[in-house]
Chain A
């Protein structure tokens, strides 16, 4: 019995009092939470990051053309990755984010997010609206290209051997003659992509070449001419 031990009794009194106090303090929050009036968020910067993407004019346009839920989330994720990559202090955040994408959507999902991160989606979108007879066909073009990112997009990395990578690309073009092929690089891989593109250009006929560049990404676009 508590009353038998005055010291224990006093300690228990303090604890009970603290619990009662905590209960009183937490109760209004719980009430608001269950009444749908309150959200509890440890890192509001993640909320801001996601909300910012949805406010951008870029997303306002894409969302009219992309209806697949998975692609919509991956596009917003790729846009967020692009925002984060501007600051080296975000390296851990980016790594964790990429791991989440792979965990949920697999390596293919990460590739789609990276396509968006490089800015390539704007190029794909431009091609879609330029070459499609209607909005429905443009939507299909964008969704098909993203879903088949493994086929239409080649990521060139800094550790790639230009000769070997060029051979892979030439073999792919010879095998499927894609209407478009996108060669992408980021950061220091730009020089490797140049070397790869030079070799591919010599061996692949019937394609027009254009290039896009921004602060982080370098992209070659091959468009089939016939």
Chain B
């Protein structure tokens, strides 16, 4: 399945936005991380990864 243009949505259909990079999370770039409940879902771009590590330490 090609997830390039498949966006992740919240229940109800609202787009799921990456909290660190202000981009809409796509299926092919989705990153689900432990540490919170429910898990954090982000776009896996380097800026978001760096921001997550800065906030949570080297947990990955």
Which A residues lie at the B interface, using CB under 8 A? 33-34, 36-43, 46-47, 49-51, 53-54, 69, 72-73, 76-77, 80, 93, 96-97, 100-101, 103-104
Say what secondary structure dominates the interface of chain A: helix
Do B28 and A42 have beta carbons less than 8 Å apart? yes
Total inter-chain residue pairs, C-beta < 8 Å: 84
29 inter-chain pairs at a CB distance below 8 angstroms, sorted by A residue, are A33-B32, A33-B34, A34-B37, A36-B37, A39-B31, A39-B32, A39-B34, A40-B30, A40-B32, A41-B60, A42-B28, A42-B29, A42-B30, A42-B44, A47-B44, A49-B46, A49-B49, A50-B49, A50-B53, A54-B58, A69-B54, A73-B54, A80-B46, A80-B50, A97-B46, A100-B23, A100-B46, A101-B47, A103-B23
Q: Does B9 contact A (CB under 8 A)?
A: no
Which B residues lie at the A interface, using CB under 8 A? 20-23, 28-35, 37-39, 44-51, 53-54, 58, 60
